[in-house]
Structure 1
C-alpha cells in the first residue's frame, strides 16, 4: 500500500514567473525575514510560505517576545509594547514579587515536531531589520518580510513604513484594520465571519465597530480555507522515507489520532475525551493499527482518559511525548485521521494529504472556528467522527493546497511591482 496519496503540486514559482528583469539585483528577491511570535501555529504559517517560495535556505527568523510568568499571563491582551512598559514599571517598583523575567530565546518546537531549523532566533527590532533591508539592497535586492500573529503587526507595518521601496511585507492572519499598511495580507476566509449575516447576529450592535475585521477583503488580500503550514509533497516524501522502518510494517489500515486541547472557540474537557475513546473502541475492529498523539496544549484531564482506556491495548500505540516526534511520519503513512476540532493547523495539515479526515468535536466550536469546519464539511474535505465508520473504506477529495496557492499569489503580487524571486 502506498504511504502517500498526495499528488505533487506544481512549483508556485514555475508558472507565470517573468524572466529576471533588466534591473538586476534590484528586481530579484533573494532573501527573507520571518517575524514570529513564539507560537508554533503562527510561525509555521510564515515558514511554510517561505518554503513554498523557495527561500527557506535564505531566511532569518526574528521573534517578538513578551514577558512570561506570573501576572504576565494575564496581560497578553495588551499590545506588546504596552505590556513591556507595564512589566518594566512593575519590576522597578517591586509591585509583584512573582513576576519572572522572560525566558532566554530558543527555537520554538513546531506542531509537526520540527523547529525553525535555525541555531538561534533574534529579537525582532524594527531599526535593525530596516537597516538590514537598506544596507544590503544594492547587493541583494529587496527584502521579503513575512509576519504572522497579532504581536507582529506593529513591527511589520513599521518596517513597511520606514523602508517601503526596499521591502515587500506580507502579514499572515488578519491584522484587524488598515490593511494597506502591508503589501499583501494572507488570512483564512473564516476571519471575515463577522461580516457575514450569521456573524453579525452574534455580535451586539455596540461592539460591531470593535470586532475584526473592519474592512472587507480587497485586491491585496489573499483568502485561504485553512492555515498555511510546512507540509508539502517533498516533506511528506522525506518523512515517508525516514519513518519507513517503524511505520511501514504496521497492520493496515493505520488510523492516526491527533488530539489538541480546548481553545477559545472550542471548549471541552474529559467529557470529549471519554466520547472519543468510546468512538475509537467502536471502530477498532476495522483498524489494523491505531497511533495516538497529544499536542503540547492537551490538558492532563483529556490525555489521562484516553491513556487509561488504551494503554494496554496491543492495537494502539500512544506517543509518550519523547523525541523523535512521529507527527510527520504519521502524516505520510496514515490511511485515515481523526483530529480534534480545536486546531485549525492540525486539521489543515491532515487535509493536505487527500486522505480521509474525521473531525472530533466540531459541534462544540463556536464563532469563526465553527465557520471553518462548516466550510470543510461542505466541500467534502472532512467528515464528523461518529464511531460508526469503517476505517477500511477509504474516500478522497481534492487536497487542501492553501500554501501553494498563497505562494502563487505572492509571485503575482511581486510581478506587479516588477519583482521576481531568485531563479
Structure 2
C-alpha cells in the first residue's frame, strides 16, 4: 500500500497540536497515511526519515538483529521520546525501527502490518484486507489519509475556477502506475485511453486527468495524445499538483486499481468512483475491492459514465479518535 500521490499533494488541515514523530522511509504514500492520521488526531507530524545503511538494504527489516544500528541516526524531536510523546511508524522498515524505539521507552503506533510480533507496539492500525487481529489492533476499511471534508472544500475553492472551462459532468481520472502486482505499460495505457475517449464521445463528459509520479512517460504521452484533442485536460506534471482539486471538483472519478491509497482517497469524496482494471493480481487489493463493491461505493469502469447514489466512505477520522482514546491523549 505504499503507492499514492506525490508528497506535495498531502493535505494540511492546519493541525498545530502536540508533535508526533513519523518514522518512515521518505515515500509519498507512507507520508500521506501517517501525516493524515496524525493531523486528523490533532497532532503535528514531523518526518523522522529512515535511511538504511547499505549493508542492510538486502535483508528484510524484520530480520535485523539491531534495527537502530541498521539505519543512519534518526532525527527525532525530543518531545516524542518522553510521555505523552508519540511516534508513528509505517511499513516493514519503519515498523522495525518503531519497535526498537518502543523498547527504549517510546510510545509507538504502527501503520500497516509490521510482519512481526504485534505486541511490540502500543497500537497497530491496519486494513481489514491485511487479515490480522489482536487486542491492540484497529482495523480500517480503507487506507488512512488526510482528505477530509475541510481539505476538499479548500481545494474546491481553489480549483473550481481553473477547471470551469471543462464540460459537466466532470470526470476526474487518477492514473497510477505499474508495480509488483499490476501492469500499466504502453498496451494498458492505450486500452485506458480508448475507454476514456469513448466515454467523452458517447456521454459528453468533461475530463481532467492527473498522472502520478509512478505513471511512465510513455503512458502519460499516450493519454495526452489521444485525449487532449477530445477536450480533456491532462496534467503535464509541471507546476502545482492538481490531485486534490480533481478530487474536490469531480462529478465522478475513474481511478486505476493499482493503488489502495488512491482508491481510498477517491471514495472519501461524495461522488461515484469507477475503478479501471489492470492486468495482474493481488489478494489484498482483491479483498479491499470486494468490500467496496459490496458496499456499493465503487463500480468497475466499463468505458461509460455511471451515476448512482453514494456517500463518502472514510474511516480515518474514527480511527484517529479511537487512537487518542486508547492512548489517553488529552
The two structures have a TM-score, normalised by structure 2, of 0.85
2:130 corresponds to 1:191: yes
Q: 1:252 and 1:77 mapped to 2: Cα distance?
A: 51
Q: What are the ranges of 5 or more consecutive residues in structure 1 without an aligned counterpart?
A: 1-28, 89-122, 193-215
Alpha-carbon distance change, 251 to 308 in structure 1, aligned in 2, over 3 angstroms = closer
Q: Equivalent residue of 1:325, what SS? A: coil
Q: What are the ranges of 5 or more consecutive residues in structure 2 without an aligned counterpart?
A: 1-16
Q: Would you say the 8 A contact 1:273–1:306 is kept in 2?
A: yes
- 1:289-335 CA-partner distances (Å, limit 9, x unpaired): 1111111111233223222212322x211100011111111111011
2:174 corresponds to 1:258: yes
Q: Equivalent residue of 2:241, what SS? A: coil
Larger relative contact order (Cα-Cα within 8 Å, sequence gap ≥ 6)? 1
Q: Equivalent residue of 1:157, what SS? A: helix
- Matched residues, number: 312
Instruction: Say which one has the larger Rg.
Output: 1
Q: Would you say the 8 A contact 2:92–2:114 is kept in 1?
A: yes
Correspondence for 1:162:
104
Instruction: Select 1:403's aligned residue among 316, 319, 323.
Output: 316
Instruction: Select 1:145's aligned residue among 87, 105, 114.
Output: 87
Instruction: Select 2:305's aligned residue among 383, 390, 393.
Output: 390
Q: 1:395 and 1:244 mapped to 2: Cα distance?
A: 23
Q: Equivalent residue of 1:245, what SS? A: coil
Q: 2:58 and 2:239 mapped to 1: Cα distance?
A: 30
Q: Would you say the 8 A contact 1:248–1:333 is kept in 2?
A: no
CA RMSD in angstroms comes to: 2.9
Q: 1:390 and 1:162 mapped to 2: Cα distance?
A: 54
2:226 corresponds to 1:226: no
Correspondence for 2:151:
235
1:21-420 → structure 2 map (5 Å cutoff)? 30-56=18-44, 59-66=45-52, 75=57, 78-79=60-61, 125=74, 129=76, 132-133=79-80, 137=82, 141-163=83-105, 167-192=106-131, 216-284=132-200, 285-313=202-230, 315-361=231-277, 364-387=280-303, 389-391=304-306, 394-414=307-327, 419-420=328-329
Q: 2:173 and 2:218 mapped to 1: Cα distance?
A: 17
Alpha-carbon distance change, 407 to 132 in structure 1, aligned in 2, over 3 angstroms = closer
Correspondence for 2:6:
none
The two structures have a TM-score, normalised by structure 1, of 0.68
